[in-house]
Amino acid sequence: MKHIPFLLAIATTAGASWLADRAVRDLPSRVDVDGRLLRMRIEGKGSPAVVLEIGLGGALEEWAAVQPAVARFTKVVAYDRLGAENTQPMLTGREIALELHAVLDRAGIEPPYVLVGQSFGGIYNRVFASMYPDEVAGMVLLDPSQEDFIKWMEANHPTKSINRSDVENWPEGAGIWDTLDEIKSSSPPPNVPVIVATGTRPSDDPIRIAVLPVWTQSHANWTKSLPQGRHVLVPESGHGVHVEASQRVVDLIREVVERARQSSPAGSKK
């Protein structure tokens, strides 16, 4: 009896150490890009590599339901800019694209890439594709922001549109309007498979009821302009398609990856 408390203490210490070690090993790695440490999680093997771009201010953990499933059939990289030292007051789409390109290079992730972006991440994907058209093999945009829609919101629902004073203290937020200017002046996406998914789950919110048709139409119009574009409606999901309909997202990514493999010169996963 007198040894039991000490045996329990040994067991507790060992258990706690094991948990701590496992937790720290599972943390995303930090990749240095000119003094900014970006978080990155790489899983799976194969080509093309899927690059997951989360929306404004999001964390790569939001891809927790998608990334492991995609890792079963190709390499998949999720990254975010949380905790990166803010060396400049504003980050535009071009700067983010340059940073992403550098971090993929540092991490040894070779092109081609299938870009997957949610919300404003879709705009960052489009800027990247216009800057590096030869490295992009496909895109899956999940309820992406559209510059025409943002303009429409500012004109018709100004109080519900993005408020500059709310975001100006934060580099990505401060760069939103410059990014929209960049996307207007950028070249169209390359001739690769592009799927745009719109979350159309009904809502009681009167603002969402009013804007959803315009939002959906903006996606449809943009997709029509692409030679290999496809517009998909996801009625079981709202704006968070990657969380609310994660299996559907995995299926869409698989479709684009397979089409990219069929059309690539190598034609097979590494």
Partner 1 sequence: MRSAVVALAWEFWAANRRGWLIVLAATVGCALLFRVLAEPLRESDGLRFLCNLPMVMSLILAGAFCNFTDRERRDGIAGFPRHLFVLPLKTGFVVTCAMACGLVSVLAVYIAWAAIVLPPLNVDLWVAWPATLIATCVVFYQAIIWCLCGFRLTRIVVLSLVATTVLGVGFLPALLPTTNVWSSQAVLTATLAGGAALAYVTTVVTVGVQRRGGGRGWTWALPLVDRLAATLVYRRHALKTADAALCWIEWRRSGLVLPASVLLTTILILFLTIRFTGGGAKATMWAEAWLGLMPILLAVPVGMGFGKPDFWSLDLSLSTFVAARPVSGGQLLVAKMKAAALSALLAWAILLLVAPLCIYLYLDTEHWLDAWEMVGILYSDFSRWALPILGLIMAMLLTWSFLIANVWLGYSGRPAFYYSFVVVGMAGLLAALYFLVWWAESPHSRDDFVVNVLPWLPWLLAAATAAKAWAAAASAHLLHRRRLVSRQHIAIFLYAWLAATSCLMYGGWLLSPRIEWLRDTLLLVALCMIPAARLAATPLTVAWNRHR
In the complex, the residues that contact partner 1 under the rule CB under 8 A are 1-2, 5-6, 8-9, 12-13, 15-17, 19-24, 26-27, 39, 57, 59, 61, 64-65, 68, 82-83, 169-170, 204, 243-244
Q: How far is the CB of 194 from partner 1 (least distance, A)?
A: 26
Nearer to partner 1, 6 or 35 (CB): 6
Q: How far is the CB of 71 from partner 1 (least distance, A)?
A: 13
Nearer to partner 1, 105 or 205 (CB): 205
Q: Is 15 helix (H, G, I), strand (E, B) or coil?
A: helix
Nearer to partner 1, 82 or 162 (CB): 82
Compute the distance between CA of residue 219 and CA of residue 229 in angstroms, rounded to an integer.
Answer: 10
Please calculate the CA angle 66-241-229 and round it to the nearest 5 degrees. Answer: 95
Q: How far is the CB of 64 from partner 1 (least distance, A)?
A: 4
What backbone phi and psi angles, to 5 degrees, belong to 149? -70, -40
Nearer to partner 1, 52 or 136 (CB): 52
Order of strands across the sheet with 49-53? 29-33, 36-43, 76-80, 49-53, 113-118, 136-142, 194-199, 229-234
> Is residue 141 classed exposed, middle or buried when 0-12, 13-18 and 19+ CB atoms within 10 A define those classes?
buried
Q: How far is the CB of 154 from partner 1 (least distance, A)?
A: 23
Asked if 132 contacts 98 with a C-beta cutoff of 8 angstroms, the reply is no
Compute the distance between CA of residue 201 and CA of residue 70 in angstroms, rounded to an integer.
Answer: 24
116 forms bridges with which residues in the sheet?
52, 140
Q: How far is the CB of 269 from partner 1 (least distance, A)?
A: 25
* ω into 112 cis (within 30 of 0): yes
Nearer to partner 1, 54 or 226 (CB): 54
Nearer to partner 1, 245 or 252 (CB): 245
Q: How far is the CB of 39 from partner 1 (least distance, A)?
A: 7
Q: How far is the CB of 113 from partner 1 (least distance, A)?
A: 24
**Nearest in space to 218 (alpha carbons), one of 141, 148, 119, 155:** 148
Nearer to partner 1, 13 or 156 (CB): 13
**CA dihedral angle for residue 183, residue 185, residue 188, residue 190, rounded to 10 degrees:** -90
